[in-house]
Structure 1
Amino acid sequence: MLKHVYRLMIELTNGKWTSVILRRFVRSRISRFVVPSFARIYNLNQIEMEKALHEYPTLHDLFIRTLKKEVRKVDTSANTVVSPVDAVIEAVGSINQTSEMVVKGKTYSIQEMLGSQESANKYLHGTYMILYLSPSHYHRIHSPVEGTIVKQWTLGSKSYPVNKMGLKYGVRTLAKNYRLITEVDTAYGHMAIVKVGAMFVNSIERTHTGSQLEKGGEMAYFSFGSTVVLLFEKGIFQLDSSIHTPKDIRIGEKIGVLLQGNGRA
């Protein structure tokens, strides 16, 4: 019963007009009055912020805040993969031969997530990682690797919740939500960085220009909370032994290493 009620609720509240209304509010000057309570309720770490709380003119400006440069250290070892976001690692696993992954007991199609079988084929038998951002997290997305962007595209229009309830009761949220997909060619093989919009959020803003990515460099930002899915080709990624799920992680922290797979040197 709860499953059907939850699905009905999110079907009625993730459409175009509800998103527009909320987006207008969080970008309005009126929203500045809820900035202090938002910071208190979500226990934001104000010491890390580049600005003081009273300097954010809207709630949206607080959501997309930047941090002091020294508060995030990026692992600079040549073959490491670092977290692209401050988040909770919710799931890590293998992509099977039918391009599917199982997250929170639900099966997701990589083909549907990426939009074509051709895009999905290179990730068969590879690894996926799901990183969830709550409203309390820093919302900017940084590159987990050094490499070259070979393709970037958007898919989807809905914005179902991507928190634990959304993953459990939603309808293929990771494959249906609005998403911005960046495919990266590294010295070790290909990976995809799938930025998935959350409830009310059909906006993922790119801040990076050009085709070259620097590990730890900023790529884009979300409004509200959301999810990032990392996909790795078969044989090129080894998870760090310290990673378990769920696990809190910060930008720049090591999540694994790239291996010499697919004939790469």
Structure 2
Amino acid sequence: MKKMLFNRFVELGGHPLSSALLKTIARSRLSRKLIKPFATTYRINEDEAEFPIDYYSTLQAYFTRNLKKGSRPINLNSSTLISPVDGVVTEYGIIDMNQTIMIKNHFYSINEILGDEKIAIPYKEGFFYIFYLSPSHYHHFHYPYDGELVSRYALGTTSFPVNDLGLRLGNKPFATNYRIISELSTAHGRMAIIKVGALNVNSIQISNSSTACTKGEEFGFFSFGSTVILFLEHNESFRPTIPVNSEVKMGQSVGEWVK
């Protein structure tokens, strides 16, 4: 019951009014008494947080907490792709000839996800990852590889659940939810990082607008529940280094370009 309540706060409800209400409560000082039960329920490692738990004045402030420096070592090997977030790799695979991918038995067109057929062209027969961030995870996102930011744009207006149930029963939320796409030019080709928002609110905060992207560098965070999709341009030398359904930490290797 307690976990169900907290899921409501960080993944939000399906109706705009209930979402707005829960958002307001999570940002108010009234939610401070929920922080310790939240940390206990989700078994959050309090030692990693930048500040002691009593420092945080609202549930959302704790949910969007920074970590202590050095908590997430970055794999700096130039042939390695790192996870941009803490989360679970729920899906990965090849983007097929028709530029579609399958997620929870639904076919998605990457044209729809990216919102532009021309932008989608380099990713044909490329590789994709889906990273799901549960309430227990650190909710900041980082660059998975060195590169140059060539575009950043937003799509969608409202959002629906991105948890397992929402993906199975929803109307293709990855192609319709509010999302912000950051596209990089890298030594291994194009890379698109799609941040998918929470229910009915703009929950994606961009904190770094520099066009120079450094592997492991933070560039924003989610205010509520979330998912990150990663598209890589086709490269026959690329292979994943973890199995599907792996729990990963930001900075950990999730793939590599084999020479």
Residues 160 and 198, structure 2, Cα contact 8 Å, conserved in 1: yes
Partner SS state of residue 256, structure 2: strand
Residues 15 and 159, structure 1, Cα contact 8 Å, conserved in 2: no
Gaps of 5+ in 1: 1-11, 261-265
C-alpha distance 25-200 of structure 1, shift in aligned 2 (>3 A): farther
User: How many angstroms does 1:239 deviate by?
Assistant: 2.6
In angstroms, what is the RMSD of aligned CA positions?
1.7
Rounded to whole Å, the distance in 2 between the matches of 1:47 and 1:228 is 25
CA-to-aligned-CA distance 1:115-142 (integer Å, 9 cap, x gap): 1111111111111100000011000001
Q: TM-score normalized by structure 2?
A: 0.91
Rounded to whole Å, the distance in 2 between the matches of 1:236 and 1:33 is 52
Q: Is 1:117–2:104 an aligned residue pair?
A: no
Partner SS state of residue 20, structure 2: helix
Q: Is 1:153–2:161 an aligned residue pair?
A: no
Whichever residue aligns with residue 139 of structure 2, its letter is H
Partner SS state of residue 165, structure 2: helix
Q: Is 1:143–2:143 an aligned residue pair?
A: yes
Residue 185 (structure 1) aligns with: 185
User: How many angstroms does 1:200 deviate by?
Assistant: 4.7
User: How many angstroms does 1:237 deviate by?
Assistant: 6.3
The share of aligned pairs that are identical, in percent, is 40
Residue 252 (structure 2) aligns with: 253
CA-to-aligned-CA distance 1:83-121 (integer Å, 9 cap, x gap): 000000000111112221001211111111111111111
Rounded to whole Å, the distance in 2 between the matches of 1:228 and 1:237 is 23
C-alpha distance 150-167 of structure 1, shift in aligned 2 (>3 A): same
CA-to-aligned-CA distance 1:39-58 (integer Å, 9 cap, x gap): 11111110111111111000
Segment of structure 1 superposing worse, 225-234 or 196-205: 196-205
Partner SS state of residue 70, structure 2: helix
C-alpha distance 223-240 of structure 1, shift in aligned 2 (>3 A): same
Residues 85 and 251, structure 1, Cα contact 8 Å, conserved in 2: yes
C-alpha distance 229-81 of structure 1, shift in aligned 2 (>3 A): same
Q: TM-score normalized by structure 1?
A: 0.89
User: How many angstroms does 1:225 deviate by?
Assistant: 2.1
Partner SS state of residue 151, structure 1: strand
Whichever residue aligns with residue 26 of structure 2, its letter is V
Residues 188 and 259, structure 1, Cα contact 8 Å, conserved in 2: no
Gaps of 5+ in 2: 1-11
Rounded to whole Å, the distance in 1 between the matches of 2:23 and 2:99 is 35
Residues 15 and 158, structure 1, Cα contact 8 Å, conserved in 2: no
Residues 239 and 258, structure 2, Cα contact 8 Å, conserved in 1: no
